[in-house]
Structure 1
Amino acid sequence: MKKMIANLASREKRVAVLENEVLRQLVITPDHHRSTVGNIYLGKVTKVLPGMDAAFIDYGAEKNGFLHRDELPSFQLTKNVEGKAAIGQFVRQGEKLLVQVSRDETGTKGAKLTGLIEFSTESLVYIHGIDYVGVSKKFKNEHLQMQWRETALQNKNPDEGLIVRTSMENESEAVFLERLTSLREQYQGLERKAASLKAPALLLARDTFLEMIMNEMSRTAVGQLVVDDSAACRALSKWVEENEKGWEISQAPGPQNIFSEANMEAQVEKLSKKIVWLDNGGYLIFEETEAFTVIDVNSGKFTGKVAKEATLFAVNQAAAKEIARQVRLRNISGIILIDFINMAQSRHEQEIIDIVKKETAKDEKRVQVIGFTELGILQVTRKRTSPSLSELMTVPCPVCSGSGKIESPETVAFRLERELLEHRKTDDEAVWVEASKAVADVLLGEKESYRQTLEELIGKRVFLSFIPGSMNAYSIKRFGSMKEISGAIE
């Protein structure tokens, strides 16, 4: 049975999705990092890039958004959309455009934008700026599927795209027209609002958090939702009633942390760790970079009771299932490289691919399993629409800048020595150096055995003071006479 726990009372919003009491999805949105996906803005073209068939758009965020030519209504509605026409024919610098965020900004990359503005309901999706009709492939009645396609084609305008969803299958044409009119009026309202504003401006902000909860509930007929916010509880209860869902919604009593009450906090904390242990004693190591994510599979404590190949295959099977779960929980996207333990039999590799495909099919984001490389690395891609959990919950280390490593005391001390040697021909009598204890120990040698040699080399007396902390660093404070330096230190 599916269960959701929604911690919405504080500024940081959190939702945990459990299936049969196992955590399957976790969404965390800090107050300063709310997703803007789905938000609609009046933007201004700041730069057109012919070489990339794209443009940068100022839509009010810190970084300009990226808009590809194929996402422009002016391109989509031309007769020739084979991709040969230059972007300069469809947009110009300084032009105002309605844009919608399709992917949040991540790392150094700005948000991905589209000019094809989309509004959606559970049964109908309306897209302005493209001539298109789509009908869900999940329709049980093929005749009705064709009928709805014809209905959509007859009632849409040339600059509109419509996607008829599965829940429309048994609805009447009157309901379809009512929802189409409502969505069309929403877009026309945005156009009127945009006409009275200067770019950049926010036109529509979507509550993506509540929408995510509703989307999750729509995937399952029944389930349980516990929420700690009264307004959200009322809104979600109303949605369940209107959509005739079998979800049981309750508001958590009292001031307690509902994540702690459900023993979720410990599981959330584990998602920030690099190592994930498997039930059979094997373990995974996660290394996330801006370019891609590497996952290493290790046998760990698992030795097995059968032949070596069967033992390694058993570890890889457990790893494949857990990796699919962790990727979804951590919201890892982009290129993912998985280094499974080498297997001698090719059929075992295919079985691992099948497991990964089966497990990632449960993911709401599109996942592609490419296959194994010659080196035995499984290549997977996952669509990126928002920052990963680690990007939301952590910042680069101010000491190592996210590399996980810092310069050794020797490296820093020898750099200081070279810098001091550059001043050996000046007339100053002394130099005041501030350095960490570890750097100072290397610079002057054990029990300051190198002090005399260093001072003779640079032709100056060295005065040292210490920088507190464990960071290996130094600063040359000043050069001057013995009296000036000693007086400055005192």
Structure 2
Amino acid sequence: MSGIELYIDDIDGRLHAAVLRRGILTDLYVDALDQDACWGSVYLGKVLKIDKKLDAALIDLGGGVTGLLPAKYVYLQNSGEAADHSGIADLLKPGQMILVQVRAEAKRLSLHEQHKMPRLTMLVNLSGQYLTHSPVARQVTISSNIENEKVLKFTAKLKGKGGWLVQPNAEHASEEQMQTEANLLRAEWEQIQAVTETSGERPRLVRAGPNAALRALNDYSAARFDHIYAGSKHCLEIVMQWAARHEPPLAESKRLRLFRPEKPGQRLYDINDIYSELEMLEEQIVPLAGGGSIIIEPTHAVIMIDVNQGSATNIAAVNQEAAAETARQIRLRNLSGAILVDFIGMNQKSERIRLSDVMQQLLLGDHAAAEVHGFTRLGIIEITRKRRTATLSEKRKVYLGK
């Protein structure tokens, strides 16, 4: 038993997927109400404008949505390498139709500020449970954790058939499972190409990115949930469709359950006080059990997290507890970019190194690629986390004037 459970429900028109480890909320996936360009979505876009100052192209994605394609994310067909160039103007021309994928959702600031456009790439990635397929690339990469001889043998067959990444999940996969998934991903790419060829000069969405439930199922596919609870038949159907493709036995398993209220008005997220946890994520101050607290202050440039000792007396213990809660809050709030954490002062270099190592270990399982860069001269620890989807606060306040 992994001790991991997934709770999927529609709340206020938004799909939520909450991951609990032994009853504690540790990860959260949420869809925005009016998402324009979701992470992972594939578009047939039209080049609107070349911006030499940004060394990027503005891409019309259709429906009034514009994305930004930096020159370093312009890839040549069947190479998987960024195009060799002296500038974006050498690569793309206004009016040109290109296939792009959303690598980072738009950053929505406030009603009174210009919103940053979704970031795009021409290196399309199609992910399954064991494999990630990059059709325009050529390189085959194997996770360093893979030691299964059958998997390694199968991987050799992928060479010359586009780019592939063999994920850590594949360690316990059979050759048949690997082959089935490879065929599905190739078929998905063929469908994308077919839609593209019949779209003419009209920008459009070709393939929608994964919703909150699918992101959770994909990210935790190797962990094997003890139970998956669906708050509605709609949520159950999402899991059933995913299971039909990736884990057929799950559809008939007792691990998958449709929530049935025990009393009038009860909802799925009343279990384990998930609703209360969601409300706490709107608070700036997060109390720690030992008497300290952390204060989370997002700014336009960085996210500041300050550790307060409060009534606690053991500084080392407060810092350890704060490190664990900081890693948890980063995931739950989906914070990204530059994150600076100001722990309580440590005089010894060995203490700072130890805390930095602890922070790195706590973020190892993060699916959004977080990295700890150590301490600055001012004693503040630096963390960067790759942006995939919008932050939780952005999704909650979009166009609501909050």
> What is the TM-score when the length of structure 2 is the normalising length?
0.86
Partner of 2:39: 37
Relative CO higher for 1 or 2, CA cutoff 8 Å, sep ≥ 6?
Answer: 2
Residue in structure 1 matched with residue 134 of structure 2 by the alignment: 127
Alignment-derived partner of residue 102 in structure 1: 103
State the SS of the aligned residue for 1:102.
strand
Q: Cα 1:392–1:168, aligned 2, differ >3 Å: closer, same or farther?
A: closer
2:146–2:170 contact (8 Å) kept in structure 1: no
Determine if contact 1:369/1:380 at 8 Å carries over to the other structure.
Answer: yes
Instruction: Give me the whole-angstrom Cα distance separating, in 2, the residues matched to 1:9 and 1:372.
Output: 40
User: Which of 227, 230, 241 lines up with 2:230 in the alignment?
Assistant: 227
**What secondary structure is seen at the aligned counterpart in 1 of 2:145?**
coil
Q: Quote the residue 2:279 is aligned against.
A: 269
Q: Which segment is superposed worse, 215-224 or 109-118? A: 215-224
Aligned: 1:74 with 2:87: no
Counterpart of 1:123 in structure 2: which amino acid? Answer: Y
Corresponding letter in the other structure for 2:336: S
**Partner of residue 343, structure 1:** 346
Secondary structure of the corresponding residue to residue 28 of structure 2: strand
Residue equivalent to 1:14: 16
TM-superposed CA distance for 1:206, in Å, is: 3.5
1:190 to 184, 192, 196: 192
Question: Which residue among 270, 287, 294 is the counterpart of 1:284?
Answer: 294
Distance in 1 of aligned mates of 2:349 and 2:400:
42
In structure 2, the partner of 1:295 is: 305
Matched residue SS, 2:94? coil
Which aligned pairs between 1:430-469 and structure 2 lie closer than 5 A?
Answer: none
Q: Could you say what secondary structure the match of 2:125 adopts? A: strand
In the superposition, the TM-score normalised over structure 1's length comes to 0.72
User: CA distance change for structure 1 residues 369 and 54 in 2, over 3 Å: closer, same or farther?
Assistant: same
- Following superposition, the deviation at residue 395 of structure 1 comes to 5.8
1:239 Cα offset (Å): 4.3
Residue pair 2:38, 2:389 contacting (<8 A) in 1 also: no
Per-residue deviation, 1:32: 1.9
Q: Which has the larger radius of gyration?
A: 1
Alignment of 1:333-482 (within 5 A): 333-394=336-397
Conserved? CA contact 1:282–1:299, under 8 Å: yes
The one-letter code matched in structure 2 to 1:251 is L
Q: Which runs of 5+ in 2 are unaligned?
A: 109-114
Is 1:253 paired with 2:260?
A: yes
- Write the distance in 2 (CA, Å) between the matches of 1:195 and 1:21: 49
Taking only the aligned residue pairs, the percentage that are identical comes to 27
Identify if the C-alpha distance between structure 1 residues 379 and 83 changes in structure 2 by more than 3 Å, giving closer, same or farther: farther
Task: Return the match for 1:199 from 187, 199, 202.
Answer: 202
SS at match of 1:117: coil
Structure 1, gaps ≥5 residues long: 305-310, 403-490
Pairing 1:148–2:154 present: yes
Which residue of the other structure, out of 311, 327, 331, is the alignment partner of 1:328?
A: 331
Question: CA separation in 2, counterparts of 1:217 and 1:172?
Answer: 19
Is the 2:219–2:367 Cα contact (8 Å) retained in structure 1?
Answer: no
Matched, 1:116 2:123: yes
RMSD after superposition: 2.8
Aligned counterpart, 1:90 = 91
CA distance in 2, matches of 1:267, 1:171: 36
Letter in 2 for 1:350: I
Higher helix fraction (1 or 2): 1
Write the distance in 2 (CA, Å) between the matches of 1:331 and 1:338: 16
Alpha-carbon offset, residue 329 of structure 1 = 0.8
> 3-state SS of the aligned residue for 2:255?
strand
Paired letter, 1:122: Q
Other-structure match for 1:412? none
The residue aligned with 1:315 is: 318
2:16 touches 2:213 (CA, 8 Å); kept in 1? no
Give the Cα separation in 2 of the matches to 1:336 and 1:291.
9
Query: Aligned in 2, Cα 1:173/1:16: closer, same or farther, shift over 3 Å?
Result: closer
Kindly indicate whether the alpha-carbon contact (under 8 Å) linking 2:60 and 2:203 is maintained by their aligned counterparts in 1: yes
Which 10-residue stretch deviates more, 259-268 or 369-378? 259-268
Question: Equivalents in 2 of 1:397, 1:15: separation in Å?
Answer: 22
CA separation of 1:342 and 1:75: change in aligned 2, threshold 3 A: farther
Partner SS for 1:33: coil
SS of the residue 1:93 aligns to = coil
Q: Is the 8 A contact 1:75 1:81 kept in 2?
A: no
Shift in Å at residue 219 of structure 1? 2.7
Contact 1:9 1:229 survives alignment (8 Å): no
Looking at structure 2, the residues matched to 38 and 210 of structure 1 have their Cα atoms a distance apart, in angstroms, of: 14
Q: Deviations over 1:206-234 (max 9, x none)?
A: 34223123224413234112111113324
